[in-house]
């Protein structure tokens, strides 16, 4: 059995309406990363200096050395940048979510006091602002636990949100395993929150951003002026706001860093954006925890059996009758590379149809002859499968007049004699009259054309049946 763990489907073509408070058209959420004092530094017991997200062009790590310039740039974020941003957001009455590195928070008591006084959310940004990609899972698990402990000790309460940033392939699972987080933000894969079943529990994911993010001042290609940052944020806002006016409201995350956007020339662009969005009605500027609580209340985790997580017996039991009396299709489909994208009617239909389409002509013919005649003897004797009975009844084929019954019986006889299989049509696409019209037309098709048409109708029937079972 092969299972593909990545989710390429998401909400698909019909994302949910977020139902933001006061029917807001957009949620604009500002994150301020507080990393200063938690970065790589030999003073912190690290093997080298920091090299990530600074204004030093082409910075590299210095093994076993302190990097005075790098340290002072980070210090600017704590000493000056933070307070400039604190004034900007408190004056604008916009609450922030802080992604706080626990060791950085421990080294900045006045900034923590200011965050708390402003009623900003202080989410966890891990124990240290370091790379985790090569960290063994057991070490990362211990680091997460220590981050929570230290964060709680420094701020007075445990964090409810988590974002590592420089994460490993294990991070999201390990944080979900811990079990105490209202949300995790170590993804960049959607414009809305969503639920993911991890480690046996439903975990809310609130995606973050690396593009509406001032880190692009320190990356290439990126921003060089505050005006460029403003223009990108404005364009993002305008597109999402228009979608919200059309009934498809979204969330806009904005990522900030004290040592980057806290510089005066860069702050100017952020200030312009804040002033810009104040000109619009229906803009909600929450903390991330507010989004998490809203989503949990209005969009609780969906509860249904997911095909990609079933064992084979269960899978075949539920889907073996989707193609009439042909469980072999479900048996073979189970062995495909199924994943989250197949945990929907459309996704599973695609998997089952792949098996049907790749089967031999003889096997597909076997599926066709497994179907009952329309309004035939089995229907009269009440011996149709539950699915077939429901489908035929939906078009009124269970209530034919004697003349209608005689007409269908005659057509069935001629059709089977000519083509070698029953007339098959997805009755839920039709009325009784249009079924009869289609029957009278198709009985005259050549056998090759009609075989292909019948196969298409079988797939359409399967699509309807799966739509009754899956979202």
In sign, the C-alpha dihedral spanning 374, 378, 379, 380 is: positive
Extract the tokens encoding 448. 């090759």
How far apart CA 23 and CA 221 sit, in angstroms, is 36
Tell me the C-alpha to C-alpha distance, in Å, between residue 155 and each of 44, 105, 152, 180, 328: 20, 8, 5, 17, 59
- Cα–Cα nearest to 141, from 117, 171, 181, 179: 171
Report CA 234 to chain centroid distance, whole Å.
Answer: 24
Q: Catalytic residue among 151, 371, 419, 430, which? A: 371
How far apart CA 387 and CA 376 sit, in angstroms, is 15
Rounded to 5 degrees, φ, ψ at 196 are -135, 130
Spell out the residues 6+ positions from residue 465 whose beta carbon is closer than 8 angstroms to its own: 321, 322, 387
For residue 79, give the DSSP letter.
I
- In the block, tokens 């009396």 appear at 325
How far apart CA 205 and CA 344 sit, in angstroms, is 20
How far apart CA 31 and CA 123 sit, in angstroms, is 10
How far apart CA 78 and CA 75 sit, in angstroms, is 5
371 an active-site residue? yes
How far apart CA 307 and CA 315 sit, in angstroms, is 6
Rounded to 5 degrees, φ, ψ at 190 are -160, 170
Which residues are tagged catalytic?
371
């Amino acid at each position: 059995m092969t299972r593909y763990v990545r989710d390429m489907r998401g909400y698909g073509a019909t994302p949910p309406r977020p139902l933001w408070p006061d029917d807001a058209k957009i949620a604009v959420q500002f994150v301020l990363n507080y990393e200063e004092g938690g970065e790589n530094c030999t003073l912190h017991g690290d093997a080298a200096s920091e090299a990530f997200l600074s204004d030093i062009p082409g910075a590299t790590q210095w093994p076993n050395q302190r990097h005075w310039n790098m340290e002072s740039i980070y210090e600017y974020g704590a000493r000056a940048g933070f307070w400039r941003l604190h004034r900007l957001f408190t004056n604008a009455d916009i609450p922030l979510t802080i992604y706080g590195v626990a060791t950085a928070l421990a080294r900045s008591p006045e900034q923590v006091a200011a965050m708390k006084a402003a009623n900003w959310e202080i989410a966890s940004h891990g124990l240290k602002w370091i790379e985790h990609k090569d960290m063994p899972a057991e070490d990362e698990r211990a680091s997460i636990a220590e981050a929570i402990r230290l964060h709680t000790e420094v701020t007075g309460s445990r964090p409810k949100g988590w974002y590592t940033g420089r994460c490993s392939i294990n991070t999201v699972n390990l944080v979900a395993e811990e079990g105490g987080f209202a949300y995790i933000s170590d993804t960049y894969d959607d414009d809305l929150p969503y639920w993911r079943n991890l480690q046996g529990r439903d975990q809310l994911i609130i995606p973050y951003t690396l593009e509406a993010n001032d880190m692009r001042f320190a990356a290439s290609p990126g921003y060089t002026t505050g005006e460029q940052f403003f223009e990108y944020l404005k364009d993002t806002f305008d597109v999402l706001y228009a979608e919200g006016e059309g009934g498809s409201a979204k969330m806009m995350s904005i990522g900030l860093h004290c040592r980057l956007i806290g510089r005066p020339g860069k702050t100017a662009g952020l200030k312009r954006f804040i002033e810009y969005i104040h000109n619009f009605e229906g803009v909600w500027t929450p903390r991330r925890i507010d989004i998490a609580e809203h989503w949990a209340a209005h969009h609780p985790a969906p509860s249904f059996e997911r095909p990609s997580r079933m064992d084979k017996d269960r899978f075949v039991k539920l889907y073996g009758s989707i193609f009439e009396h042909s469980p072999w299709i479900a048996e073979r489909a189970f062995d495909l590379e199924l994943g989250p994208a197949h945990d929907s009617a459309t996704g599973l239909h695609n998997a089952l149809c792949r098996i049907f389409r790749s089967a031999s002509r003889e096997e597909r013919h076997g599926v066709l002859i497994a179907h009952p005649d329309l309004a035939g003897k089995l229907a009269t004797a009440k011996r149709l499968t539950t699915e077939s009975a429901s489908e035929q009844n939906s078009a009124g084929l269970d209530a034919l007049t004697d003349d209608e019954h005689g007409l269908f019986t005659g057509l069935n006889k001629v059709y089977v004699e000519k083509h070698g299989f029953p007339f098959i049509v997805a009755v839920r696409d039709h009325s009784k009259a249009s079924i009869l019209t289609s029957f009278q037309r198709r009985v005259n098709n050549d056998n090759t054309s009609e075989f292909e048409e019948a196969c298409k109708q079988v797939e359409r029937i399967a699509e309807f049946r799966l739509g009754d079972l899956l979202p």
